[in-house]
Amino acid sequence: MSQFPKSAALMARGAAFFGSEHAILCGAMSWVSERNLVSAISNAGGFGVIACGAMTPALLDAEITATRALTAKPFGVNLITMHPDLFELIAVCASHGVSHVVLAGGIPPKGSVEAIKAGDNGGAEAKVICFAPTLALAKKLLRSGADALVIEGMEAGGHIGPVSTSVLAQEILPSIAEDALVFVAGGIGRGEAIAGYLEMGAAGVQLGTRFACATESIAHPAFKKAFFRASARDATASVQVDPRLPVIPVRALKNKGTEAFSAKQIEVARLLDDGSVEMLEAQLQIERYWAGALRRAAIDGDVENGSLMAGQSVGMVTKEEPVTEIIAALLGECEAALGRRAAA
């Protein structure tokens, strides 16, 4: 019997979908959601997800192999839809029998969902998870073959949309949660919030910021200390400088790196103006900028000039803890909240 029976009952559909003990999905954080953190989360009963980010197919192949050496539990891979080698990356996932692929960063390109589902997962069809920023798109993605959805609010770290998690949940969950698997993300730092979304019909939740400073996270000590010092107000969204260049806002702790991004946008916009690059290449340059800036902070420890991507729940990250303790604390808080409501 589960130590957290009320939580387990509400997470049952999500946990069965992932093949995990708990329907707690790890957000894909480039450079951070790699073999060590991913395997730790899966081993602790959650569902770890490798952040492919800007990896080449060869690097992803090696990362999946290394993760498999650290866990026998299921885990997934997050792929960016605008990656120029998307279909090669899908083929790498298929060659390893990856059971779940998350498509992030935009509407899945034609044929990508079908390619994932055609992958070899021991005779079973691989599952596709997509991000849905609106109810209309959520329904369209489900019709197009998505097996589950993540709705992520603007409180999240990294790339964000314009609507808060609580509003997205109210708009989307009552309409489709009975018939579809929907996981809620963005600004979740405690179990009481998890309890609320589960009661609204969510199949589970996704957290990133809460896991970024786990003991098993390879993030640089200086990166983690920046999180420990930060409050919710320190995690700000980037500003779009040129309306001709569609740039998805990124939430990070304010520093010199966030200021430098404005200059980078102006640089890329000028390249668009003189015809040096096409729009897709311009967007890829922006993505490469973020990948490099995040590495400088998370891996190299340059917390002044790198990107400290963090959600507004960062104020609830106050110390380094093992993944097992983080998940146990979240579930304990969730269970207590559900118990209080049942007794009321």
pLDDT digits (tens, 9 = 90+) for 309-331: 999 999 999 999 999 999 999 99
CB atoms within 10 A of CB 332: 14
* Rounded distance between C-alpha atoms, residue 214 and residue 164, angstroms: 25
State the Cα–Cα distance between residues 138 and 327, nearest whole angstrom: 28
Domain limits, CATH 3.20.20.70, in the chain: 5-218+317-343
26 DSSP β-pair partners: 207
CA distances from 43 to 98, 163, 319, 323 (A): 16, 33, 21, 9
CATH fit for domain 5-218+317-343, picks 3.30.413.10, 3.20.20.70, 2.60.40.10, 3.30.930.10: 3.20.20.70
Contacts of 32 (CB under 8 A, 6+ apart): 51, 212, 217, 218, 219, 298
Residue that the structure tokens 């729009």 belong to: 279
Are 141 and 148 in contact by the 8 Å Cβ rule? The answer is: no
Q: How many Cβ atoms are within 10 Å of 65's Cβ, its own excluded?
A: 11
Mean pLDDT for 288-307 is: 94
Q: Are 216 and 27 in contact (CB under 8 A)?
A: no
Give the CA distances from residue 265 to residues 84, 105, 218, 242, 245, in Å, rounded to whole numbers and listed in that order: 21, 18, 29, 7, 8
Kind of pairing, strands 158-159 and 250-253? antiparallel
Q: Are strands 235-237 and 308-309 parallel, antiparallel or unpaired?
A: unpaired
Closest listed residue to residue 198, CA positions, set 2, 22, 20? 22
Give the pair of three-digit tokens for residue 173: 């969950």
Extract the tokens encoding 212. 């970024």
- Residue 188 — pLDDT band, cuts 50, 70, 90? very high
Question: What is the C-alpha to C-alpha distance for residues 9 and 335, in angstroms, rounded to an integer?
Answer: 11
Comparing 278 with 65, which gets the higher pLDDT? 65
pLDDT of residue 244 exceeding 80, the answer is no
| CB contact at 8 A, 57 and 88 | yes
**Average confidence (pLDDT) over 96-110:** 95
Q: pTM of this prediction?
A: 0.95
Q: What is the pLDDT of residues 165-185, one digit of tens each?
A: 999 999 999 999 999 999 999
Residue 128 token pair: 């596709």
Interatomic CA distance for residues 44 and 191, integer angstroms: 16
Write out pLDDT tens, residues 191-214. 999 999 999 999 999 999 999 999
For the beta carbon of residue 194, count every other beta carbon within 10 angstroms: 28
